[in-house]
């Protein structure tokens, strides 16, 4: 890199991404004086573009996210990769993220693989390992003998082989899952329930269908797709911790769209990034343009306390120190009564209380407290 020594002096005063931008865009033939001038001009422009003290950045961020919200579409499903799997996007997804709701409506993971698997080696097998398989997917035949009251199932051998399973293993699984006796008869499994009524038999049949065979629970769908020049696995359903522990998974890039899960597995800083990434995804998918700083601030306010708090009356708003600010949002009486009992004091340090009292608000031009001497 040309004239690197000149950059040294600006490392403290210019942010990294701008310096990087300059380095990348410098033409090949550039002399020292020019680099110096570029850096100087950048510095002056940067200094002129800094935020002022007192700027109500919170409101600006809220506006910047709320306003494009009116332009988003409702009920849109966006197809991830191929048409098989769809994800909630648009306004419902945005609300979901900002609510920090416990589970997303369409949980999804993107699993990156380590070499050589990311070039397509054993991709089908790997996908099968991750997907939760239930017994019903492996059975080719199902029959109930009403007279002798037993149930016979015939597993599909080919599918068994795909999963490294055999009939004995299946027998064990059923015995463990249903607490019934199972006999092997050639390639058939015979189940004799204790209770012989027909309705009970039917119930057991349904239960057998749902017996867990292999894979990670809650991952209902897997889809290996090619992105750029590597294979990744997209799943419906998420189980981050277990997936990260698999030895063929690249744990660094693998991710889920469930923010709460990220918070519990990877910690609060990861959750903050996840919120930013997910919000940005929604906004970009709608073809809107919102600066990352606003999204960052929302993610930060949701995560300052160390837990992921939604922008709801139970989350971020309940943490406010001011009684009146809380009361002005939702359920005012609850807050006022609680405050009265504990003799709470409202120091009037935020915006809404001062609006209520017709006093200047402590932000923007209301922040400096100056008085003219007469």
Please report, as residue ranges, which positions from 83 to 102 form the binding site for other proteins (by CB under 8 A).
Answer: 83-86, 91, 94-95, 98
Residues 95-134 that bind other proteins (CB under 8 A): 95, 98
Decide whether 47 or 200 has the Cβ nearer to other proteins. 47
Residues 156-175 that bind other proteins (CB under 8 A): none
Structure tokens at 374: 């007469």
Decide whether 127 or 174 has the Cβ nearer to other proteins. 127
Residues 138-157 that bind other proteins (CB under 8 A): none
Q: Give the range of 144-152, 202-210, 256-264, 337-345 binding other proteins by CB under 8 A.
A: 337-345
Q: How far apart are CA 44 and CA 37, in angstroms?
A: 11
Give me the 280-299 binding string for other proteins, x by CB under 8 A, dash otherwise.
---------xxxxxx-xxx-
Among 223, 246, 265, 268, binds other proteins (CB under 8 A): 223
The CB-of-158 to other proteins minimum distance in angstroms stands at: 16
Among 5, 8, 12, 27, binds other proteins (CB under 8 A): 27
Give me the 32-71 binding string for other proteins, x by CB under 8 A, dash otherwise.
--x--xx--xx--xx-xxxxxxxxxxxxxxxxxxxxxxx-
Q: How far apart are CA 295 and CA 40, in angstroms?
A: 30
Structure tokens at 163: 């999963």
Q: Give the range of 110-118, 171-179, 186-194, 331-339 binding other proteins by CB under 8 A.
A: 331-339
| β-pair partners for 227 | 230
Residue 316 contacts residue 310 (beta carbons within 8 Å)? yes
Position 373 contacts other proteins (CB under 8 A): no
Give Cβ neighbours of residue 237 (< 8 Å, ≥ 6 apart): 107, 108, 109, 132, 218, 219, 220, 221
The DSSP code for 113 is B
The DSSP code for 135 is G
Among 147, 228, 342, 373, binds other proteins (CB under 8 A): 342
Residue 216 contacts residue 256 (beta carbons within 8 Å)? no
Place of tokens 């199932």: 153
DSSP secondary structure string for all residues of 321-340: S-HHHHHTTS-HHHHHHHHH
Position 269 contacts other proteins (CB under 8 A): no
């Amino acid at each position: 890199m040309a004239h690197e020594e000149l950059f040294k002096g600006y490392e403290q005063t210019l942010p990294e991404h701008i310096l990087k931008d300059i380095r990348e865009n410098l033409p090949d033939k550039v002399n020292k004086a020019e680099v110096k001038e570029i850096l100087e001009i950048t510095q002056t422009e940067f200094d002129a573009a800094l935020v002022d003290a007192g700027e109500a950045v919170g409101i600006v961020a809220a506006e910047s996210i709320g306003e494009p919200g009116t332009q988003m579409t409702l009920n849109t499903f966006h197809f991830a990769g191929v048409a098989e799997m769809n994800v909630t996007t648009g306004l419902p997804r945005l609300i979901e993220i900002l609510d920090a709701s416990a589970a997303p409506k369409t949980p999804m993971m993107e699993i990156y693989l380590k070499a050589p698997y990311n070039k397509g080696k054993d991709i089908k097998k790997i996908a099968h390992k991750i997907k939760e398989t239930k017994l019903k997917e492996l059975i080719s035949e199902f029959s109930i003998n009403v007279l002798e009251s037993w149930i016979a199932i015939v597993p599909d051998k080919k599918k068994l082989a795909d999963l490294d399973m055999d009939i004995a293993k299946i027998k064990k699984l059923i015995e463990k899952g249903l607490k019934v006796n199972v006999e092997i008869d050639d390639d058939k499994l015979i189940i004799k329930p204790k209770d012989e009524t027909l309705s009970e038999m039917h119930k057991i049949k349904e239960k057998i269908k749902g017996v867990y065979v292999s894979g990670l629970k809650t991952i209902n769908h897997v889809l290996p797709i090619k992105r750029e020049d590597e294979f990744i696995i997209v799943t419906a359903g998420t189980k981050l911790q277990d997936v990260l522990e698999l030895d063929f998974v690249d744990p660094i890039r693998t991710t889920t769209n469930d923010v709460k899960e990220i918070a519990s597995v990877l910690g609060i800083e990861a959750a903050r990034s996840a919120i930013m990434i997910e919000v940005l995804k929604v906004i970009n998918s709608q073809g809107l343009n919102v600066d990352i700083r606003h999204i960052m601030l929302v993610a930060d306010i949701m995560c300052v306390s160390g837990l992921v708090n939604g922008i709801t009356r139970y989350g971020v708003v309940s943490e406010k120190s001011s009684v009146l600010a809380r009361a002005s949002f939702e359920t005012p009486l609850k807050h006022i009564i609680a405050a009265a009992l504990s003799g709470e004091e409202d120091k009037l340090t935020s915006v809404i209380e001062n609006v209520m009292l017709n006093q200047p608000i402590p932000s923007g031009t209301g922040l400096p407290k100056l008085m003219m001497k007469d």
